[in-house]
Chains A and B, each alone.
Chain A
């Protein structure tokens, strides 16, 4: 199975994961600072900044883009409950 590395910059911790893993599945187990509300892409609580490897995440859906827009997200922000890892990337809480 293809693997990828994700680094949580706030705790400077890297995890090697199977491609396709959602960030929400990793960040809580590792104790990173991304926090969650609805866990289904509606509330925007888990917004995070992708500092490297923006293209190594699945594309945001129309609904995710709407939530990001409403929450005045910066460039390269994503919802951790929605984004799946395809290749190496670095993230930190927004």
Chain B
């Protein structure tokens, strides 16, 4: 069947390992997923059925509106009263959409979710059912028996919600990986050795869904890499049965910082971005650069936003340790190129990076405080109040900028100047 498989017309389950079936649905017309992702040829909602000697397990369901296809495939290989186990690796509505109806048809089944999923389950399914489902929470190495088959759980939070987990079918060496190793790519031939070229979709999906959580990817890989893997079965896109380990290795490669290899372990990266209308904020940026550059162990970079594009700057920011933004104030606001960059950072992890702001202004000077608030909102640490200069900076003010750059760089390398005990009332 594999050579001629077309699940657009073949509406039954597809067995890809003994007793292991794909029972998902195709969504070929979808063009935007979850606001942030384009889907040039749609997506799939992959759901799986595992038959053991002691009963049947369903792993993940499909998006609301695709239940008919899902239930039809399920019914082609199992009866509802055989279902003992339902696993949700991820509660996002594209995987939990058919859960209420599945629980209604198989009331004897037990639902297994991760420990982080409980509040989401209640919040997501509130409109569909007055009484909450009975469920069991599981974490890494918890197991569920289906008689001669066993499912083992791997706690892999934030890939891509806090609740996410993977489920490993031990005897068949199949990893039901949830959104991990998935992509929005719809092809009725279903398997990675049969579908078209989906490399772009795989990397694009990683860049938007997994990239902000690279540290969690690394922790998940530590659990996944030791497993024997015959098949990786994600919730979106092709089932990876042909050399699945390549995709695991690719995730490690994508999650490893390239700049840290370039800088070595000892250097920290501090980047100054600025925009300037009359050269005043630019002069401040240059003075800050000179100050920061005197600190041992800090590699300083200076970029005029006018001369660059957002995407490569986002790459730089991802690998930086400290970020300084210089903006003039125009009509009471920071300027658009600064906001364009600051509003494009949802795909990278900024948690704990050091931030600071500076800028020249004409009469009100709100930009610096606005940018600082934005950086705090992005979970950066803003250790020092930024510098605001009215119009053309004096030499004294430029010296202050040099000292500011040096101070931020020193904070970056852990040489923060101590300020004694501060009175709360003295903090602005």
Q: What residues of chain A have their CB less than 8 Å away from a CB belonging to chain B?
A: 5, 11-18, 21, 26, 28-33, 35-37, 45, 70-72, 93
Contact between chains at A26 and B379 (CB < 8 Å)? no
B424 an interface residue at 8 Å Cβ cutoff? yes
Contact between chains at B379 and A36 (CB < 8 Å)? yes
- Cα A31 to Cα B424 with chains together (Å): 13
Nearest-Cβ distance from residue B65 to partner chain A, whole angstroms: 30
Tell me the dominant secondary structure on chain B's binding face: loop
Count chain A CB atoms within 10 A of each CB in B380, B381, B383, B424 and give the residue with the most.
Answer: B424
- Cα A30 to Cα B421 with chains together (Å): 11
- Cα A36 to Cα B379 with chains together (Å): 6
Are A35 and B379 CB-contacts (below 8 A) given A70-B116, A70-B118, A70-B119? yes
Can you list 29 pairs linking A and B with CB atoms under 8 Å apart? A5-B421, A11-B416, A12-B416, A14-B421, A15-B422, A15-B423, A15-B424, A15-B427, A16-B421, A16-B422, A17-B424, A21-B424, A26-B424, A28-B376, A28-B382, A29-B427, A29-B428, A30-B422, A31-B383, A31-B384, A32-B381, A35-B351, A35-B379, A35-B380, A36-B376, A70-B115, A70-B119, A71-B116, A93-B352
Residue of B nearest to A69 (CB): B115
On chain B, the residues within 8 Å of A12 by CB distance are 416, 418
On chain B, the residues within 8 Å of A26 by CB distance are 424, 427
B129 an interface residue at 8 Å Cβ cutoff? no
Kindly list 17 other residue pairs between chains A and B, CB separation below 8 angstroms, not including A17-B424, A30-B427.
A11-B416, A12-B416, A15-B422, A15-B424, A26-B424, A26-B427, A31-B383, A31-B384, A33-B352, A33-B381, A35-B352, A35-B380, A36-B376, A36-B379, A70-B119, A71-B116, A72-B115
B261 an interface residue at 8 Å Cβ cutoff? no
On chain B, the residues within 8 Å of A70 by CB distance are 115-116, 118-119
On chain A, the residues within 8 Å of B428 by CB distance are 29
Contact between chains at A45 and B379 (CB < 8 Å)? yes
Are A35 and B422 CB-contacts (below 8 A) given A29-B428, A70-B118, A70-B119? no
Residue of A nearest to B385 (CB): A31
On chain A, the residues within 8 Å of B381 by CB distance are 31-33, 35
On chain B, the residues within 8 Å of A14 by CB distance are 420-422
Residue of B116, B118, B352, B418 touching A13 (CB-CB under 8 A): B418
Chain A to chain B: the 4 pairs with minimum beta-carbon distance, closest first: A31-B383, A17-B424, A29-B427, A35-B379
